[in-house]
Amino acid sequence: MRILLIYPKFPDTFWSFKYALNFIHKRSAFPPLGLLTVSALLPDEFQKRLVDVNVDCLTDDDLSWADLIFIGGMTVQRKSAKQIIARCKAKDLKVVAGGPLFTAQPEEFGEVDHLVLDEAELTLPAFLEDLKNGHPEKIYRASGFCNLHNTPIPSWGLVNTKRYASMTVQFSRGCPFNCEFCNVTVLFGHHPRMKKPQQVIAELDNIYDAGWHGSIFFVDDNFIGNKQYLKAKLLPALIEWRKDKKGCVFYTEASINLADDPELLAMMVKAGFDSVFIGIESPDDACLTECHKTQNRNRDLLQSVKTIHQAGLQVMGGFIVGFDSDTVSIFQRQIDFIQQSGIVAAMVGMLQAPPGTRLFDRLKRENRVVSSFSGDNVDGTTNILPQMGLDRLLDGYRSIMKNIYSPHNFYRRVRNFLKDIKAPDITVPMDFQRALAFMQSCFRLGVLGKERLHYWHLLLWTLFHKPRLVPLAVTLAIYGHHYRRICEIYII
């Protein structure tokens, strides 16, 4: 049987990094790790191809080749997924769908022939057995969560890694916290489940041996969900693995309580991590109480960020406005916090309610869910009626984005960050990609860009004060260009 796996297109968002990828001639930030893992779960006798429409065109020849279509993705890819499904159905192709988009709202995809939902390790075998016997069902659901010890190495041979800016690895699923607006625990549970270190090392070896010596994203929603296991098992294995490896650096997502564990911070840096995304959400304790963000409460959030920076990890921060507890003062408070913290990549979004979350259920009861969930919390939209009123929230949100991504404030924030961050022990060799990015930034930002004076001032300041961080300063300037373009086109 010939299986065509299709990954839908991402729209232009903060997370797409479209305008930054242009500097290094890459087509997409990340490969479709979920579909690559699904491919590895399929029988060896199946013929398999993958088309990621973020890097390739889906042709009629691709569709003519296939006996069965597999499609997966996230909510933000809904529009593209719908278009692909319609195209497949027009050619009378059977479609199998799974992943977060379809698991969260299966009722929206009646045209799909088979919905293999929840975790594929549990539901895909049942579908394959029924398919073999000639009577596959419409929907397959799981009653629990899988053991990641049984998850295979993704089928990296299906993609051209050179088209992506970063590779991806998953170590764990699940999060011990219970944020009201988050659907991670709905999808993966509260109890973090981990792969064995040997599995992760085998995946890294597979990627490295294929010639990838760049950044690798640990896609875990909370990498530090089980700190003791991390410190005792995985991080020592990563430290040992990197001893004879060149160029590979890691980044991930974690909770703010990372700042409370100096040993963990030191081990992550030694293992090769250089940045971490953290959900800050709000500097207002009432908002944190409202959304049950308990791990962020009763602490000096600015100091926590500073502690992580000083350990050698860059904090990328997520922020939300539109909580019921928010007043009009929150907009300036968010601006002040972001500027003072030195969080360069500040992903600010209006509160949305993902289906299945406690927030969605609460607001649904209050008749305050008014539209579909977009899956992009930084696109200047929301699917709820905010307490302060939609117009006031939108005006305040736009004021934040206009302020923090103005060249003056953005570059000042980069300098604040560079003052705090500990210079890395990791030496990343100059290669063609980095040289190309530097030359392009000099011309596009330093000559053509309206930020050109800020750009050159940053480079000179870094050269004199933190010379080892010049490559990082250039990278952040390129990211700033992307964030500013998204703001100008879609938000402000």
Type of residue found at 254: A
The angle subtended at Cα 291 by Cα 348 and Cα 347, nearest 5°, is: 10
Characterise 180 by phi-psi region: left (phi > 0), alpha (psi -120 to 50), beta (else): alpha
Distance between CA 382 and CA 360 in Å, rounded?
12
Q: What is the DSSP string of 364-397?
A: HHTT-B-S---S-TTSS--SB--TT-HHHHHHHH
Please enumerate in sequence order all residues whose Cβ is within 8 A of that of 131, keeping only pairs 6 or more positions apart, or say none: none
Closest CA to 113 of 133, 131, 125: 131
Which two structure tokens, joined as six digits, stand for 295? Answer: 């791990």
What's the distance, Cα to Cα, between the start and end of the chain in Å?
49
Distance of CA 322 to the CA centre of its chain: 22
Six-digit token string for 71: 């499609």
Q: Model pTM?
A: 0.96
Taking only the tens of pLDDT, the chain with its 492 residues reads 999 999 999 999 988 999 999 999 999 999 999 999 999 999 999 999 999 999 999 999 999 999 999 999 999 999 999 999 999 999 999 999 999 999 999 999 999 999 999 999 999 999 999 999 999 999 999 999 999 999 999 999 999 999 999 999 999 999 999 999 999 999 999 999 999 999 999 999 999 999 999 999 999 999 999 999 999 999 999 999 999 888 899 999 999 999 999 999 999 999 999 999 999 999 999 999 999 999 999 999 999 999 999 999 999 999 999 999 999 999 999 999 999 999 999 999 999 999 999 999 999 999 999 999 988 877 788 999 999 999 999 999 999 999 999 999 999 999 999 999 987 765 556 677 778 889 999 999 999 999 999 999 999 999 999 999 999 999 999 999 999 999 999 888
The alpha-helical segments, DSSP class H, found in 68-182 are 78-90, 100-104, 120-133
Residues in the chain: 492
